[in-house]
Structure 1
Amino acid sequence: MFSAVLCFRMTSPYFSQNMTVVTRRAEKVARCTAAVAPLRSRRGDADAISSVAVKVEEEEARISQKTASLTTLDGSQDLLQLATAQPKLESDALSLSSLGRRRRQIKVEYDEGGSPVKTEHWEPPDWKKQLAHIREMRSSRDAPVDSMGAEKCYDAEAPANVRRFQVLVSLMLSSQTKDQVTAAAMQRLREHGCTAEKLLSTDEETLGKLIYPVGFWRNKVKFLKMTSAMLVKDYGGDIPDTVEGLVRLPGVGPKMAHLAMDIAWDQVSGIGVDTHVHRISNRLGWLMKPTKNPEATRKALQEWLPRDLWSEINWLLVGFGQQVCLPTNPLCSLCLNQHSCPSAHQSSPAKLLKVQSALSPSSTSSLQAKTESGQETDVNADTINEPQSVNLATQRRKLNRKVKH
């Protein structure tokens, strides 16, 4: 009878259905089935086993979904940590991108299209043609600077250090002084003994008589004494071989320093800009913006003028300014650049247009007359045959006499 009951139990559809449900899952379901096996004899046992299996199935499904979601997040083990870190990463990226944009706006200029603005090299129009015309007008080399400039005032037979010192002295004396006066003063100094040691031992009164009548001669006497003392102490009577060392000397400016480097040391360190170079560069439009002093002109010229022309440009423009492009009443009618110069005929009187037909260029280039003091003074072509200007001067003298009386 026991065998019949067992056979009926195993072959009953009810029990076969329950067994299928129990065994279709993994080992966890088997463990749960083994735990409730003693209760299978009761009808309610099947319901308990079925509910446990369903819970296990739901738990496994939930675990599998969580695992899949974690896998899609690059294998991260903590979904909450990623969720909290994501806004921070986005905010950091946004701040970095905005910072990068601000830096780019500061360092690089952009046009309306967003492309970088390229700075082109500026140079004045027709400057090469104008420079060629100036070379042609200066081809005779008969201006005062050609025969009495700083490079002509030193003793060629003196030692090298003495020659360099004499170049510096002539440059110091040439400030606000005509080349003729500077050359005469240098001749007297050379006869006296133009070395740093000799000038240092000479009293100021004697030194003043030797350099008179150069411009501001009293101040230059003090500068020569102080400079000689520094050169004897620090350079053994020679001059510094750098612009920085030269400008530290009393009475020596940037123009003198650059010219001294060129003439004395044969090194081109910059353009020597005096009043002639400053005036002519502004008149020809060789500067992007008008300048107010020679030092500003030097910096503006050096920005575009080729370096191989820095040494030549000084004596070219100085002689051109002494003969044609005069400070007052320039001879624009004789200038080959009168058709390209933006300042042509603005400072010169209209009557100069007729001078060219009356006088030849050789006679109008530079006429000189000696004054009672022995100093040579330039007489321009526009001062010839001017009865009206003479009458005006006579009338002024008569008026001054009446005022005094």
Structure 2
Amino acid sequence: MEDNAFAAFSFSAPAPPTSWNRTEKTVKVEVDAGVKQSGRLSPLGINRDRSVSQTDKRRKLTAKVERFDAAATVGRLPCLVKTEPKLEIEDSDQAISGNIVKVESSSKAVKARQSRSKADNSTKECAPENWEQIVQGIRSMRMGKDAPVDLFGTHQLFDIEADKGTQQFQALVAAMISSQTRDAVTGAAMQRLRAMPGGLNVAHIASDDVEIDALAEILKPVGFYRQKAKFMKSIAQSLAAPPHNGAVPNSLEELMKLPGVGPKVALLVLWVAFGMGEEGLIVDTNVRRVCSRLGWVPADATPELTRRTLESWMPRSMWADTSFLFVGFGQQVCKPLAPKCEGCKVSQLCPSAFKQSPKRQTRKPK
């Protein structure tokens, strides 16, 4: 395909991290002004082109650092995850002149910088023990590429004969309706949508010829099919109008403005429709479950927390393949109710191996 969009998918990935009992540390860096210099950026990244009045505002840059308790992670390194810094402005009677803010060279500020530096380094080291070996083992079990996601995933559901814009819209629809729905059901629904008179394209779905109730009947039995039919109609109408003018946006921010499109769907669209697999790691219920059983995230971690945790240490180039690998692995081996631990090549490295009930016990008739 042109422009690397809809490229064939290959396996070349690694895997996820740690997170447990958290304690918080707060680091404060005091930034004072008081030097006459020009043409330079301040430590806050602000170019001060004009002189500032006599009364300055003392600025405190507060960075919260969440530390994961090493005692709660078996054989793994503690992981530091920093939240966004917050700028607090307080009144001060210190006078400044010039156009640059200077960081106070006190021992307190130095210690704060050292603390931040340690946090940055630790983030790189927080990958779980043996994660590379685990990913290689999962990759070897996925060589057959015969999981439901391989056969009915979003990358398989658009019309390869259609123009690129239509392909991208169909990928968006497939990603949106796949949520809370088995891949085979999504695949069948996409076949029915593409077979509609007028086709599955922005102009047709946005037109008055297509009613929401008709879309709902076509989508059934997709999970939440009535709500997704409304989303489809709204998405098409939004895309048909300016500023999109019929085109699917290729940015995470713009995609998430569309009805029914969250981070997972948006990242999936960027990967499949635009070949942008490094925008974020796609985490569905399978990926979250596998990472939880491996001890890389807490048992109650949300998909979003799982994604942020994995992205904090995993090489960006491996995000897309890792998602694809782990989804299929969760569908075929690491199943929700009856994981196949006996045939799993990484069971010796999994702290949850053989701890799940193999089958639901059926009650014998009296």
User: Structure 2 length as normaliser, TM-score?
Assistant: 0.66
Deviation track 1:132-152 (CA, whole Å, cap 9, x = no partner) reads: 111111111111111111000
The DSSP-based 3-state class of the residue aligned with 2:155 is helix
Q: Is the 8 A contact 1:127 1:286 kept in 2?
A: no
Matched residues in 1 for 2:192 and 2:299: separation? 40
- Quote the residue 2:256 is aligned against: 247
- Quote the residue 2:222 is aligned against: 214
Matched residues in 2 for 1:125 and 1:102: separation? 35
Give the CA deviation at 1:159. 0.3
Q: Is the 8 A contact 1:171 1:256 kept in 2?
A: yes
Matched residues in 1 for 2:118 and 2:216: separation? 61
Q: Structure 1 stretches of 5 or more lacking a match? A: 1-97, 350-381, 384-388, 396-405
Q: Which has the higher contact order (CA 8 A, sep 6+)?
A: 2
Deviation track 1:295-347 (CA, whole Å, cap 9, x = no partner) reads: 11111101111122111011111111111100112111111111110111122
Is residue 163 of structure 1 aligned with residue 167 of structure 2?
yes
Deviation track 1:334-387 (CA, whole Å, cap 9, x = no partner) reads: 1111111011112233xxxxxxxxxxxxxxxxxxxxxxxxxxxxxxxx57xxxx
- Quote the residue 1:270 is aligned against: 280
Picking from 196, 200, 208, the partner of 1:194 is: 200
Give the CA deviation at 1:104. 2.7
RMSD value, Cα:
2.2
Give the CA deviation at 1:99. 7.5
Give the CA deviation at 1:198. 1.3
Alpha-carbon distance change, 204 to 133 in structure 1, aligned in 2, over 3 angstroms: same
Is residue 307 of structure 1 aligned with residue 313 of structure 2?
no
Alpha-carbon distance change, 147 to 105 in structure 1, aligned in 2, over 3 angstroms: same
User: Structure 1 length as normaliser, TM-score?
Assistant: 0.60
Matched residue count = 255
Picking from 136, 141, 147, the partner of 2:140 is: 136
- Quote the residue 1:100 is aligned against: 106
Matched residues in 2 for 1:299 and 1:178: separation? 25
Q: Is the 8 A contact 1:280 1:321 kept in 2?
A: yes
| Counterparts of residues 250-399 of structure 1 (less than 5 Å) | 250-268=259-277, 269-287=279-297, 292-349=301-358, 382=359, 389-392=361-364
Which is greater in Rg? 1
Percent sequence identity is 39
Q: Is the 8 A contact 1:332 1:348 kept in 2?
A: no
Is residue 119 of structure 1 aligned with residue 129 of structure 2?
no
- Quote the residue 1:204 is aligned against: 212
| Larger proportion of helix | 1
Matched residues in 2 for 1:116 and 1:206: separation? 58
Give the CA deviation at 1:200. 1.8
Deviation track 1:263-305 (CA, whole Å, cap 9, x = no partner) reads: 1001121111111111111111234x55621111111101111
Matched residues in 2 for 1:345 and 1:304: separation? 28
Q: Is the 8 A contact 1:243 1:261 kept in 2?
A: yes
Q: Is the 8 A contact 1:283 1:342 kept in 2?
A: yes
Q: In structure 2, what residue type is equivalent to 1:213?
A: P
Q: Is the 8 A contact 2:165 2:248 kept in 1?
A: yes
Q: Structure 2 stretches of 5 or more lacking a match? A: 1-103
Matched residues in 1 for 2:166 and 2:331: separation? 29
Matched residues in 2 for 1:265 and 1:158: separation? 15
The DSSP-based 3-state class of the residue aligned with 1:158 is coil
